[in-house]
């Protein structure tokens, strides 16, 4: 019974990772995970017109300008990637 449960849980987890790329895996770095989270948030704001309107009113900007700025921030939402040490 226990092995069946483990097999089912692993299968479900693999299915989630295949379906949703932002769910991460064991080798995902902190920077990559944070970048996925920021991009998902920015994409959600751009994709929901009411959120975009809210931010546009709060910032005193045009809706198109807010969408453009959010889309530009998606390129590197957490700044440049950290250097990798090759030992």
The burial of 32, by beta-carbon neighbours within 10 Å (0-12 exposed, 13-18 middle, 19 or more buried), is given as: middle
Give CA torsion, residues 80, 82, 83, 87, to 10 deg.
Answer: -160
pTM of the model: 0.70
Residue-number span of the structural domain to which 33 is assigned = 28-74
User: In total, how many domains does the chain have?
Assistant: 1
How far, in whole angstroms, is CA 59 from its chain's centroid? 23
Mean pLDDT of the region 19-36? 78
Using an 8 Å Cβ cutoff, are 85 and 50 in contact? Answer: no
**Is residue 43 in a domain?**
yes
Say which residue, 80 or 19, is predicted with more confidence. Answer: 80
**Is residue 57 in a domain?**
yes
Mean pLDDT of the region 5-31? 74
**Is residue 47 in a domain?**
yes
């Amino acid at each position: 019974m226990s092995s069946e449960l483990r097999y089912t849980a692993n299968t479900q987890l693999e299915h989630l990772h295949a379906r949703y790329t932002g769910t991460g895996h064991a080798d995902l770095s902190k920077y990559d995970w944070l970048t996925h989270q920021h991009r998902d948030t920015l994409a959600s704001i751009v994709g929901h017109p009411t959120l975009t309107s809210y931010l546009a009113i709060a910032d005193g900007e045009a809706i198109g300008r807010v969408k453009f700025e959010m889309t530009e921030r998606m390129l590197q939402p957490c700044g440049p990637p950290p250097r990798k040490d090759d030992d």
